[in-house]
Amino acid sequence: MTRQASDAGVARASALLEVGRIDAARREIAAVLADDPDNAEALHVLARSHQAEDEFAAMLDAAARAVAVAPGQHEGHVLLAFAQIGVGNPAEARASACEAVRLAPEDWRGHAALALARLNLGQPRRAFQTIKQAVNLAPESAGPHHIRALMFHSIGWHMFATRSYRRALTLDPEHRAALTGLGSIAATRGWLTAAAGHLSAVLTAEPTNHAARTELDRVVIAGVGGWAVISVWTAGFLGMFAMLPWMWLVALLPPALWLLWAARTWRALTPGARVYAGHVARTDTRARVRLFGLALCTLTATGLVITALRQDADRPPAAPMVVMMVAHVVALLATAAAIVITDRKATSPRAADPRSSSE
């Protein structure tokens, strides 16, 4: 393969990668590297293809090969820094990012990688000073605004994160990582309808987007499912006073509000997202735990209401009433304990990472 043919192959792979055809891009790169294993540009594209799917170990290998072949090209050092952040080596990432900044101080990506590395090393002040430099270098690019939003998000500063995510979307309305970030913050705040809208937009464009699917899991499981349990339990608690006729409507209010909220969230999902959400609700262990808790709380709430209807309002609670009250409280505590245990097994703490960071 001639140099001209290699360059054409790398250009085709880059174009395929831009439109999300990762497997096709890798086939093009594999053909180039088979004939020219030391082609730095091909190794750069290969590293970016792994970054697109959060395959940071493979990205690290490709980026390290690129740096070994062409140590004077800053692109390899940028990709290596992001890969090292992804595999949890912030100290090495800082060194690679510093080299990228030295070779190309005008490229915002080197500064962004350095900011992420410093944040993960426990240097937030220096990290935010560095990301400010990245934003100043490319104020009209969505990338540095997204990185700054990601950093704010990782430390829980949701108001500032939201502002930066929205700035990134103003510059690039189809920026999927920024939409996913906004969906995550909305889900955390309990704005399930807004979260469903943001995440549906991402999944419509990229149905296999892992980050968006993870956040949609939270909306379906922790949001809709979790509040279903709370609403039914609250209805049962209010049902203790069912001997007073006017309390019936009050007891029915929490489940009614939940149904309205869940319906609005469901309507905000696209058809494809609804199919995925339904699959999660049926198969995910966390969803099943909440469904079991919902059934348990519904059972005790029903028993509590029936017992309360037989209770004389002018007399102290009878023994059956006390038993049902205790059972209702125990049902909630048991459900909460089961939810905490299953959620801890299925999730891990959020950390700043380089997902789509060099876009």
Measured in whole angstroms, the distance separating CA 151 from the mean position of its chain's CA atoms is: 14
Q: What is the pLDDT along the chain (359 residues), one digit of tens a residue?
A: 577 777 788 888 888 888 778 888 888 889 888 888 888 999 999 999 998 888 899 999 999 999 999 999 999 999 999 999 999 999 999 999 999 999 999 999 999 999 999 999 999 999 999 999 999 999 999 999 999 999 999 999 999 999 999 999 999 998 989 999 999 999 998 899 999 999 999 988 888 788 889 899 989 998 899 999 999 999 999 988 877 777 878 889 999 999 999 999 999 999 988 999 999 988 999 999 999 999 999 999 999 988 888 877 667 777 888 899 999 999 999 999 999 999 888 765 444 555 445 45
Are the CB atoms for 206 and 273 separated by under 8 Å?
no
Q: Work out the number of other CB atoms within 10 angstroms of the CB of residue 315.
A: 7
Q: Work out the number of other CB atoms within 10 angstroms of the CB of residue 230.
A: 17
Can you tell me the distance from the alpha carbon of 66 to that of 36, in angstroms, rounded to the nearest whole number?
Answer: 12
Angle at 257 (CA atoms; ends 235, 187), nearest 5 degrees: 110
Measured in whole angstroms, the distance separating CA 274 from the mean position of its chain's CA atoms is: 18
Q: Is 228 helix (H, G, I), strand (E, B) or coil?
A: helix
CA distances from residue 346 to 173, 291, 335 in whole angstroms, order as listed: 32, 17, 16
